[in-house]
Amino acid sequence: MDGTALLTITVLAVFVGFEVVSKVSSTLHTPLMSGANAIHGIILVGAIIVAGQAADSWVLAVALVAVVLATANLVGGFVVTDRMLHMFHAKKDTAKARAVEPKGGGK
Amino acid sequence: MSLLDPVWTSLLYLAAAVCFILALRGLSSPRTARRGNLVGALGALIAVVTVFLSARLDNIPWILAAIAVGSAVAAPVARRVKMTQMPQLVALFNGVGGGAAALVALLELAHSDNPWVRVAIVFTLLVGAVSFAGSGLTFAKLQELMTTRPVVFPGLPVVMSAVLLAAVAAGVAVVVTGSLPLAVLLLALGLAAGVLLVLPVGGADVPIVISLLNAFTGLAVAASGLVLGNVLLVVAGTLVGASGTILTRAMAAAMGRSVAGILFGAFRGGSTAGSTAVSDRPVRSSSAEDVAVLLGYAQRVIIVPGYGLAVAQGQHTAAELALALEARGIEVDFAIHPVAGRMPGHMNVLLAEANVPYESLKEMGEINPEFKTTDVALVVGANDVVNPAAKTSSGSPIYGMPILEVAEARQVVFLKRSMRPGFAGIENDLLYQPQTSLLFGDAKDSLAQVLGAVKAL
């Protein structure tokens, strides 16, 4: 892909990024940060490409470290965000039943 | 040889990019947040499967093994970590992402003849390394492996400038020569810069720095996408960079400071001079029974939870106390400061865990006018977010931060472990006011005692 096309895509992505989160409430700052964190774990795709093209053993070793780190970012990020959001969700369901079972639900 | 036609590859990457946009949009509204996160994970899955089907890859067993190792380490940690330790885990995941981006860039240097590609490599190396080291240090601060106070030494601005100048020089040299040893040097300078950037940031501001480093990692990933000519990395990284920037600014605004002030405030000196001494002024300490009487015969009670509640795992007991008071016909709300806990919005997550209903969680702007008509404000393990010094004392490190106006309530009860100052390291004058009483002890134990005494009324 040529340079101007990449530049176009980059600039458009900046605007989408700004627009998408411009009105977020402080209640969701933490899950949003954590979710965005998970998304940049997609560097895993880059790490896989580099590891897959490695000819030297030291290049492969460094690339595999990158794969491990990127996977940790990607998998861990999505799992942690889901756990956080699960709590918001669980509460909604149990809000009515709460008087009967104050410590239940949530898990 | 590839199994997938290049057109299909591009379309699948496009689908993944759309998933990420939908994920971010979903995450900005409570109703759609969880679905949004799952859509994001789906996008990541599509992208990873696509790369295996489309690129010519060797070493596939090794790569699969590395993915298995990464998942096997991260997933259980992510699943088991206590909700109170969430912020440092997010910092850690951010750091490893930045580290991965820097390593990918380092390895691509050998294949790059184009000077513009080398510029992108240099950018990724530097920003990725800053993010890796900076996040590591924020992890250490939040985990309290080191002091949470700003760490400043006399030559810090000079050292920082020297490191940055050296990094720029090394970066230019790498672009010109493509030398691998110089790139490794650049990586080391980036790590040093990350440490120096985060050292002077004080405890309460650390969450904002995590968000900033998160945006940095996004930019590093976008730049590595330019290096590899991979549109998905460009789009995903840019999205995170842009949304992370907005989020950082929103968080800083919630605390009434500028991002530059947070990063470089300590350099100016003076602003970090939080008092560490414990004052010997008299305070009114109280028993659980006294507190129970105050609460049990009030009409309106506002509970102000802070990190002390979280570390003591007292959120369930606090929720039970609220129920017991409501059963007596008392109106009870929770006042949530935007940065209560260790991260903006963190307290909402913790109270949600204890099944406190949405309607009882009031944000700062909504609840502040109500303190005037409140009989008792019960402050549980919070200090900085109710400290009137933020409004009155211009020399204070938290000056300008919007606070919960607990001082307006008729009675204020602090549940505190000790007279030690809070996370920001400054004293709270409110503790010495005549309408204030203190109940010392672990937040959970104190709450349980108060709960028992309320039930016995």
Instruction: Read off the pLDDT of residues B424-436 as tens digits, 9 standing for 90 and up.
Output: 667 788 888 888 9
**B44-59 exposure pattern, b = at least 16 Cβ within 10 A, e = fewer:** bebbbebbbebbebeb
CA distance A12 to chain B (A): 9
As a whole number of angstroms, the distance between CA B308 and CA B385 comes to 12
As a whole number of angstroms, the distance between CA B130 and CA B134 comes to 6
As a whole number of angstroms, the distance between CA B23 and CA B95 comes to 21
E-strand spans in B306-359?
A: 331-336
CA distance A100 to chain B (A): 11
Task: Work out how many CB contacts closer than 8 A connect A with B.
Answer: 383
Are A38 and B237 a contacting pair at CB < 8 A? no
Count of other CB atoms within 10 angstroms of residue B445: 14
Is residue B236 within 8 Å of residue A11, measured between CB atoms? no
The tokens describing B92, both together, are 């850690």
DSSP secondary structure letter of residue B435: T
Angle, helices B6-27/B231-254, rounded to nearest 10 degrees: 10
What is the distance, to the nearest Å, from the Cα of residue B57 to the centroid of all Cα atoms in its chain? 37
Are B96 and A72 a contacting pair at CB < 8 A? yes
Catalytic residue, candidates B5, B58, B205, B384: B384
Q: How confident is the prediction along chain B (457 residues), in pLDDT tens digits per residue?
A: 557 888 999 999 999 999 999 999 999 887 888 999 999 999 999 999 999 998 789 999 999 999 999 999 999 999 998 877 888 999 999 999 999 999 999 999 998 888 999 999 999 999 999 999 999 999 998 888 888 778 888 888 899 999 999 999 999 999 999 999 999 999 999 999 999 999 988 766 788 899 999 999 999 999 999 999 999 999 999 999 999 999 898 888 777 777 887 777 665 544 444 444 445 677 788 888 889 999 998 999 999 998 888 878 888 899 999 999 999 999 999 998 877 776 667 788 888 878 888 788 888 888 999 999 999 999 998 888 888 888 887 777 777 788 899 989 999 999 988 776 666 667 788 888 888 988 888 888 999 999 999 998 8
Rg (CA), chain A: 20
ipTM of the complex: 0.85
Sequence-ordered list of residues with C-beta below 8 angstroms from that of B21, at least 6 positions apart, any chain: A16, A20, B239
B384 included as an active-site residue:
yes
E-strand spans in chain A?
A: none
CA distance A97 to chain B (A): 10
Is residue B261 within 8 Å of residue B228, measured between CB atoms? no
Q: Which residues pair with B440 in a beta bridge?
A: B416
- φ, ψ for residue B300, nearest 5 deg: -140, 125
